Amino acid sequence: MRALYVNAMDYGENAGVDAIAHGLAHRLAQADIEMRVMYADFRQTGWREREAEAVRAGLEGGVEAIVVYVLDADQPADAVAEARAAGIPVFCLERPRFAVDGCVVYPNFNHGVYMAEHLSTLLPAGASVGVIGGPDVVDDIELLLGIKHGLDVSPLRLVNDPFDPRYKNDSDVAEGGREKALNLLADFDHLDGLVPYNDETMLGTLEALRETDRLGEMKMVSRNGTPKAVEAIRQGLHHGSWDLDCPGIGATVGELVVRQLVGGEQLDGYCAASPIGRMITPENAGRWIPWSERIPYDPLPVGV
């Protein structure tokens, strides 16, 4: 059997997104299901059309299941409906606003709150904190809302609007994080704390801090628990990354595919929650096991 995964970013651009794909492929392989992948990178013009085209390619190629990483909750509704009408079950990462066989939702809001709570243990009451947000997609919007809420109910002081485009890393990669961090550093001559919403943004922020000679000024937390972020924690450059267990996310949606495809269950839109995860800190970073050592990182065949 074959399953098609329609991924939202090209391979190698975001370590967490890559790890989700490998986690999915590993769980499917355990059930003798081969995973193929097609990419509809949301940073490129026309990505929604390519996403729909990929779903239809899976339909035409005769795969037994399709998994879509949903960024726009309204798309690709028509293509998914066509696949399901043809008897191909469709599963999603994040919950769309159209019918699917099953989906996995992230506790994004909780992650954001927990990140803010951890930062508040590192800083005194009244400390000034800046936040760099992310693109306007399902999971990152929820994460940013959680970060903001966590800071609003903490004794810390949020100094910028993280929804302002000047401070939003819409590219979701390190270079975009560097650009938005430079904006924030230019607008605030001192910050006690900083929350780049994810690790890729944090890596770009480190570059911006080096360029402005402000490295070491502030405590920082981010999300994803990627290998480079953990290394930055070990080096004393970063103070916490929420490891949301990206391979576990992939395995969770893979389990839904297996339950229906192999086990014969009709999941009827069942929603499962991804692992919540934990904060990686200087105290436990030495015990962190890289994702590629938790599961095989076999090549991901492209196409159907």
Domain boundaries, the chain: 2-106+245-276, 108-243
Q: What pLDDT was estimated at residue 52?
A: 98
pTM: 0.91
Domain 108-243 has CATH 3.40.50.2300: yes
Mean pLDDT, residues 287-299 taken together:
93
Instruction: Name the E strands within 127-234.
Output: 128-132, 157-158, 193-196, 219-220, 222-223
Domains 2-106+245-276 and 108-243 equal at CATH topology level: yes
CATH code linked to domain 2-106+245-276:
3.40.50.2300
For residue 136, the 8-state DSSP code is S
Q: What pLDDT was estimated at residue 238?
A: 98
- The answer to whether residues 141 and 110 touch, using CB atoms and an 8 Å cutoff, is no
Cα of first residue to Cα of last residue in the chain, in angstroms, is: 12
Task: Give yes or no for residue 115 having a pLDDT over 90.
Answer: yes
**How far is Cα 132 from Cα 141, in angstroms, rounded to an integer?**
12
Q: What pLDDT was estimated at residue 137?
A: 87
* Residues of the chain above pLDDT 70, percent: 100
Q: What pLDDT was estimated at residue 247?
A: 96
Q: What pLDDT was estimated at residue 138?
A: 87
